Amino acid sequence: MQQANKKISVLTQPSLTDAAKLIEKAFAQRRTLIVVGACTVNYVGRASSTLEPGERLLIIKADGSLLVHRPIGYEPVNWQPSGSIFHVAADAGALLVHAVRSKPRENVKIIFTSVLLVSALGLEDSGEFLLFASEDDMHRAILLRPQLLEPGFKPISWEKKVEPGFVDVYGEDKDGKLVVVEVKRKTAQKEAALQLAKYIEPIKARVNREVRGVLAAPALGSGVQRLLVSLGLEFRALDPKVCAEVLRKSENSKLENFL
Amino acid sequence: MQQANKKISVLTQPSLTDAAKLIEKAFAQRRTLIVVGACTVNYVGRASSTLEPGERLLIIKADGSLLVHRPIGYEPVNWQPSGSIFHVAADAGALLVHAVRSKPRENVKIIFTSVLLVSALGLEDSGEFLLFASEDDMHRAILLRPQLLEPGFKPISWEKKVEPGFVDVYGEDKDGKLVVVEVKRKTAQKEAALQLAKYIEPIKARVNREVRGVLAAPALGSGVQRLLVSLGLEFRALDPKVCAEVLRKSENSKLENFL
């Protein structure tokens, strides 16, 4: 009982059969598993791959997701999302970790010929992850979900090159007026309002319809609201955290499509 | 000297200062470093993020790439490509691992309040990774690099729905003839040739120009070349490994743009 409650079990340079016992226990207890050793990896599924012998880090998480990492590079060389079923078997010469998924049918076999480290970890992690977008992210979020700016807003182009610089987001409102948007990631100060006013002038001179200037930022600095009004400009509250969430949802689906 | 040559150093539930010593040694010796413990993570760069307290796995590789993994999910919660400079510092209450990159300016701070496991590993891995594409991958590779099929080939659409099924790749050759391509990942047998012949007939009936049928596969089974000739069809050798390489190059750049 004591053993089962331990947060961590570690074996350093174990025999393959001892390693297999701890790996099996980690699967049964749905622990985070780390195995480091010399291995080959074979994958068969939508595509297929073979990784020739070398020393790598295998991670199998509590949800059944799997990663094989080489000593170089931030990307895993093989990976599987959650949902695999795992088996482990060992004899004196080889330790096999086998992951099988059914939809799509995928099959990963990792065969260790020696093990440097095995660890089974009972990790607790309920901490929240808060992502705050960059200004570029905020532009992309508006393009993805234009109602972040206002109902009926239709973006026309992004970072349209206009003298004397770049407009962040450029579009049309529900009444057909042109909208020029300046985005700030932090509390917008007077410079942001003046920058927007400067960008808008040549556009007004060129087009034959009403042009609105909108400063989008999480908040306005002292005196900036008054300056905006005097320049004929508007403010929209836009939270980088909300933008990050919009992108995260969209990019998760994009990333899943991509992978 | 003995110590420096060891393939693996492991500390289980060390004090923060002992953990820091081994981490510092791992940085100095450019080893693969694993740290498991309770931590927070703060990132500031193009965007910014905060990960509230919880138990995670930190991996820092020999090339300086960094990954923070939670106990659930195949994606890292924080990551950095190679090229960071690392610092470590500890007192009785906290252990800070700090990664700084200059282009773009990025900053990751991982603060551990307790450590379950630290391991520094001297991993050797020169094994080759061989990836063999799926049929879908092969379609995409042809769309990305049409000369894989033949010089001057221009794809028109992909999996164009035609009776009685789907055409894999559909295009125009350098002389303006329509080309219908059937792709096979393995040695193509007679069924593949007959399938292509069947797809081509309704297209021929509908269009007012010459239609070529091309079976693209790594090789042909016995008797298939003769069957193709008798059906007025052609064969192109197309290697799934070459297709995988085409995609890998393209997707690496796509993934980098995406991330």
Chain B nearest-CA residue for A7: B116
Instruction: Return the structure tokens found at B81.
Output: 């490509």
| DSSP H stretches of helix in chain A | 2-5, 16-28, 135-144, 190-206, 224-231, 240-258
Q: Which of A12, A51, A125 sits opposite B54 (nearest CB)?
A: A125
Residues of chain A neighbouring B10 (CB-CB closer than 8 A): 10, 12, 117
Q: Which residues of B touch A79 (CB under 8 A)?
A: 74
CB B33 within 8 A of CB B27: yes
Which mean pLDDT values do the consecutive 10-residue runs of chain A (259 residues) have?
A: 68 97 96 98 89 97 96 94 94 94 90 98 94 85 92 77 66 92 93 92 84 95 95 94 82 51
| Partner-chain contact A136 B46, CB within 8 Å | yes
CA B105 to CA B101: how far, in whole Å? 5
Are B125 and A50 in contact (CB < 8 Å)? no
Examine residue A151 and say whether the peptide bond preceding it is cis (omega within 30 degrees of 0): no
Contacts of residue A70 in chain B, CB cutoff 8 Å? 123, 125
Of B119, B112, B61, B117, nearest to B90 by C-alpha is B112
Per-residue pLDDT band for B259 (boundaries 50, 70, 90) equals very low
* Lowest mean pLDDT segment, chosen from A4-8, B28-32, B211-215: A4-8
pLDDT tens column, B165-179: 567 788 999 999 999
Residues 6+ apart with CB under 8 A from B40: A127, B50, B51, B52, B53, B110, B111
Residues on chain A touching B34 (C-beta within 8 angstroms): 34, 36, 57
Alpha carbons B15 and A108: distance in angstroms, whole number: 37
Q: Do A129 and B32 touch (CB under 8 A)?
A: no
Query: Could you give the CA distance from residue A153 to residue A181 in angstroms, rounded to a whole number?
Result: 11
pLDDT at A165: 58
Contacts of B129 in chain A (CB under 8 A): 49-52, 77
pLDDT band at B184 (very low <50, low <70, confident <90, very high): very high
How far apart CA A11 and CA B119 sit, in angstroms, is 12
Q: Do B116 and A116 touch (CB under 8 A)?
A: no
Strand B95-101, strand B85-90: pairing = antiparallel
The type of residue at B45 is: G
